[in-house]
């Protein structure tokens, strides 16, 4: 969820405790249903646990919970200068690799969570796909919001990914 007041450590700790409790309850239910629960990387500094380091700390404490890495969200939340964002994302993939259960792939211009087809925004997918090829062999889900021409957008996405593989 979103946590806007990170400056108050006491309140922030309560939020983290509530989140851990929620994860434990939800993970137990998912486990009983044969489902793998995953928490997605966030795109905003107020997302908790949105940053990969926070996500790892949160999920490593709860049995059978993984991480969904959202490439577009990571690009938006990268603290580095624009030209170094993909390198930072590569490092984040290394960080979460032991917990990675799914990947959401979409593009943006670095300003908002546009969910564009890969190749239509600013993200250089080459280092990202290199890291995924090295550390991950699970599903990659295209997340596209504009469904006005889905066949064209999916084809464009596949072409872009094939170019970098």
What pLDDT tens digit does each residue of the chain (165 aa) get? 555 556 778 887 888 888 899 999 999 999 999 999 999 988 776 677 778 998 999 899 898 999 999 999 999 988 767 668 888 899 999 999 999 999 999 999 999 999 999 999 999 999 999 999 999 999 999 999 888 888 998 898 989 888 887
pLDDT at 23: 94
Query: Has residue 23 been placed in a domain?
Result: yes
pTM: 0.87
Asked if residue 56 is part of any domain, the answer here is yes
pLDDT score for 8: 77
3 within domain boundaries: no
Whether residue 1 lies inside any domain: the answer is no
3-state secondary structure the chain: CECCCCCCHHHHHHHHHHHHHHHHHHHHHHHHCCCCEEEECCCCCCECCCCHHHHHHHHCCCCCEEEEEEHHHHHHHCCCCHHHHHHHHHHHHHHHHHHEEEEEECECCCCCCCCECCCCCCCCHHHHHHHHHHHCCCCEEECCCCCCCHHHHHHHHHHHHHHHC
Which residue range forms the structural domain that includes residue 41? 9-164
Rounded CA-CA distance 4/31 in Å is 31
> Per the structure, how many domains does the chain have?
1
Question: Which CATH number fits the domain that encloses residue 64?
Answer: 3.20.20.150
156 inside domain: yes
Tell me how far the alpha carbon of residue 63 is from its chain's centroid: 20
pLDDT for 46 equals: 65
**Is position 4 within any domain?**
no
């Amino acid at each position: 969820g979103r946590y806007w007041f990170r400056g108050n450590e006491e309140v922030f700790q309560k939020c983290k405790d509530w989140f851990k409790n929620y994860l434990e309850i939800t993970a137990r239910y998912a486990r009983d249903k044969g489902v793998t629960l995953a928490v997605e990387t966030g795109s905003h500094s107020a997302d908790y646990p949105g940053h990969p380091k926070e996500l790892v700390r949160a999920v490593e404490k709860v049995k059978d919970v993984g991480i969904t890495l959202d490439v577009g969200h990571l690009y938006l939340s990268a603290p580095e200068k624009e030209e170094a964002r993909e390198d930072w994302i590569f490092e984040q993939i290394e960080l979460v690799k032991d917990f990675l259960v799914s990947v959401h792939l979409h593009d943006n211009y670095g300003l908002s969570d546009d969910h564009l087809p890969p190749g239509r925004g600013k993200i250089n997918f080459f280092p990202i796909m290199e890291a995924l090829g090295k550390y991950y062999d699970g599903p990659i889900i295209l997340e596209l919001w504009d469904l006005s021409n889905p066949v064209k957008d999916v084809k464009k996405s596949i072409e872009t990914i094939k170019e970098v593989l």
